[in-house]
Amino acid sequence: MDSYIKSTLTSLFLLQYALTGGLGAAINITITSPSNLMTGSNINLTIEGNVSDALVTWTVNETTIITFFNTTKITSKNYEGRVDASLNDQLVITNAMKTDSGQYKVSVNKFDASSGTGSSSFQLKVYDPVQNVTVVLLPQINVSENTPEVNLSCKAATGGETFTWLKNGAPLPANYSYTLLDGNRTLQIKSPNITYNGNYTCIVSNPVSSSNNTIELIVKPVPVTSLSAGAIAGIVVGSVCGGILLIAFIILIVCCVKRRKGKKEKQPVKKSPTKKNPGGPNHKDVLRTVSGNTLSPDDPAFFTVNNIMYRNSSLSMGSYNMDQQVNRRDVPGTVWNTLESNRASTPNSRISSNLKPKSATQV
């Protein structure tokens, strides 16, 4: 089709050249149209200037769209059914698409008495409408003054070209610590505090459409404490160390008690030695006399191992019960002589020289 159009244009141009005797004067041509259109709308390009009895050719990005001369029209295959050129000074493309964006050019060659040529170019862009704008807060929950940063991310399903942020319907305060990332799609707030609380709106737009969405940011304050973070950390560390030392001290005491108890259980019981008095029992253990009188514990007396009592001074005479027999060598001479005298005066007495009688008289 393009080759057919080119050959037709060539034939028409040669015809013009033969009829006019050469190229005519330049023609002033201007295209009027909105430079930005939305997909689905119509592209309407109008030529300002006299193009009657002229060969008119429309191209976009150097690709031919249509060529016509008076009532003769030749349309490119890619635009069949979408191009309306019922008027020579106007080009209409229906149901515009983003691929229709580009540089449009019209060329005019007149064949009448005011023959001449002219051309004009026009830049056109087609946009999708902005739809389905969403704003996401990260992290989504538990934002506090201890949070290092907050990210508000904005996107649109279609048509997103320009992203603008507002807080409570006004531009962002200049003294805020924030950064715009990813072509302004993300608003990053560093070290947020309660002054950042509010409604944040993201406006997504392009030259032919716009839409927006809003999200609320709530920064929770940190509870105020009278102690600094360093002091709190010191208290915690000190408490832990103190607890460890206390436990170690208790364990040490328990070990010492158990060790002492074990030593006591292993130590043999010492029996108190029986005190033997080689001189006999104390004079407090006085034998009762036959007459029923007892010696006073304060009276001087000497006791032998066999419980015989001796006096150096004279006492009242009395007979004493003797528990054991006595050897001659255990009794002083004066006492023994007295015993012998008593024996001699006692009939039927048989006291051995080596034995003590069961009763005796003490002087």
Q: How does pLDDT run across 211-230, given as a tens digit for each residue?
A: 999 999 999 998 776 566 77
**Tens digits of residue pLDDT in 294-336:** 555 555 544 444 555 555 444 444 444 444 455 556 556 665 6
Burial of 43 (0-12, 13-18, 19+ CB in 10 A): buried
Burial of 164 (0-12, 13-18, 19+ CB in 10 A): middle
**Tens digits of residue pLDDT in 109-136:** 887 656 678 888 999 999 999 999 999 9
Under the banding of pLDDT at 50, 70 and 90, the label for residue 259 is: confident
Q: How far is CA 111 from the centre of its chain?
A: 84
Burial of 7 (0-12, 13-18, 19+ CB in 10 A): exposed
Q: Containing H/E element for 239? A: helix 229-266
pLDDT surpassing 90 at residue 268? no
- What is the predicted pLDDT for the residue at 97? 94
- What is the predicted pLDDT for the residue at 315? 43
**Across 170-179, average pLDDT:** 91
Provide the total of helices (H) and of strands (E) in the chain, helices listed first.
3, 23
| Cα(39)–Cα(158) distance, integer angstroms | 11
| Cα(49)–Cα(261) distance, integer angstroms | 124
| Cα(212)–Cα(134) distance, integer angstroms | 8
**Across 13-41, average pLDDT:** 69
Q: Containing H/E element for 171? A: strand 170-171
- What is the predicted pLDDT for the residue at 66? 92
- What is the predicted pLDDT for the residue at 85? 74
pLDDT surpassing 50 at residue 361? no
Positive/negative CA dihedral, 136, 140, 143, 146: negative
**Across 191-215, average pLDDT:** 96
Of 45 and 261, the structure prediction assigns the larger pLDDT to 45
pLDDT surpassing 90 at residue 194? yes
| Cα(326)–Cα(309) distance, integer angstroms | 11
User: What structural domains does the chain harbor?
Assistant: 2-127 (2.60.40.10), 131-217 (2.60.40.10), 302-361 (no CATH)
| Least confident stretch, 29-33, 105-109, 179-183, 359-363 | 359-363
Q: Return the biggest CA–CA distance within the chain.
A: 210
**Across 182-203, average pLDDT:** 95
| Cα(95)–Cα(38) distance, integer angstroms | 9
Token pair belonging to 54: 């002229």
Q: What is the DSSP letter of 319?
A: E
